[in-house]
Amino acid sequence: MEKSNFFKDRVMPVGVILLALLVIWYVAVIFLNVPFERDTAARAGTAITFSEILPKTMFQQRPVLPAPHQVIAEIWNTTVLMPITSKRSLVYHAWITLSATLLGFGIGTVLGILLAVGIVHNRAMDRSLMPWVIASQTIPILAIAPMIIVVLNAVGISGLLPKALISTYLSFFPIVVGMVKGLRSPEQIQLDLMHTYYASPSQTFWKLRWPSSMPYLFTSLKVAIAISLVGAIVGELPTGAVSGLGARLLAGSYYGQTVQIWSALFMAAALAATLVIIVGFAHTAVLKRMGTRA
């Protein structure tokens, strides 16, 4: 009963979409890769039939669009079949990006919460800071990422931290916005109750505002962790980094290694999904401890 429901409610819908996507992908592979085979055949002066072209489009060295099985094979070769210490291991590159992501996410979360606490408790901070917080996100990250890295390099900071700071730059924003809302979410009557007890501001914070903000915090964390990863990858692009998923993307596009690009993309997507799911589990666990109705 339980199982068949899980299959019907969860596996089936996702599976159907996945299947549809695969079909679309294969059709696209054929369309996009056929011209190259036609050109090759024409240059060699040989006539080629469509049924001869079809299989060739699936196994090109540098396809315009690699076929799913090519990407899967590449991922398999560069993760499972390759030692993690190898410079070609996708796991190694993923780890480089992940460490910058997590560091940036951590700093962004702490910074975001501190700013939100300040904004909620201090009118002057509310007026002066919030416009800057919003303005910070209107600057395209691709434009300032190289500058951040160059400036930090100039003052002797290099390696993990500059990349992490780009993650921070992106991730603190949803945390600030979510937490300002969350810390302001207690109802007037709940605040009045604290007032009647003559509770100190810190008691009101820890016993009312903080627990009230938990659902908002976790919703923000899910967004923040995903864009932290984007930030770390973007941080690898303009600097000619040699390792990390961003470096793999860049190297792949220099040398037309589309299969490499796509496998790095998929790795990034899988990483993002895993991180969001982990935050989701933490969310569920915390809300359960807080007695939220199942």
Exposure of 233 in the CB half-sphere (CA atoms within 13 A): 21
Distance CA 271, CA 40 (A): 38
Q: Least separation, in Å, of the C-beta of 283 and another protein?
A: 14
Could you tell me the CA-to-CA distances from 193 to 179, 187, 240, 249 in Å, in that order? 22, 10, 57, 56
Toward another protein, which CB reaches closer, 106 or 215? 215
Contacts to another protein by CB under 8 A: 187, 189-190, 192-199, 203, 207-208, 211, 214, 290-293
Q: Which long-range contacts (CB under 8 A, 24 or more apart) does 126-130 make?
A: 130/180
Toward another protein, which CB reaches closer, 22 or 290? 290
Toward another protein, which CB reaches closer, 19 or 290? 290
Q: Least separation, in Å, of the C-beta of 205 and another protein?
A: 12
Toward another protein, which CB reaches closer, 61 or 203? 203
Residue type, 63: P
Residues 6 or more apart from 236 whose CB is under 8 A from it? 97, 163, 244, 245, 246, 247, 250
Q: Least separation, in Å, of the C-beta of 292 and another protein?
A: 8
Q: Least separation, in Å, of the C-beta of 203 and another protein?
A: 5
Chain position carrying tokens 């692009």: 237
What one-character DSSP code corresponds to residue 142? H
Contact 166/235 with Cβ under 8 angstroms?
Answer: yes
Toward another protein, which CB reaches closer, 46 or 188? 188
Distance CA 12, CA 4 (A): 10
Toward another protein, which CB reaches closer, 3 or 293? 293
Q: Least separation, in Å, of the C-beta of 108 and another protein?
A: 26
Q: Least separation, in Å, of the C-beta of 184 and another protein?
A: 16
Q: Sign of dihedral through CA atoms 146, 151, 154, 158? A: negative
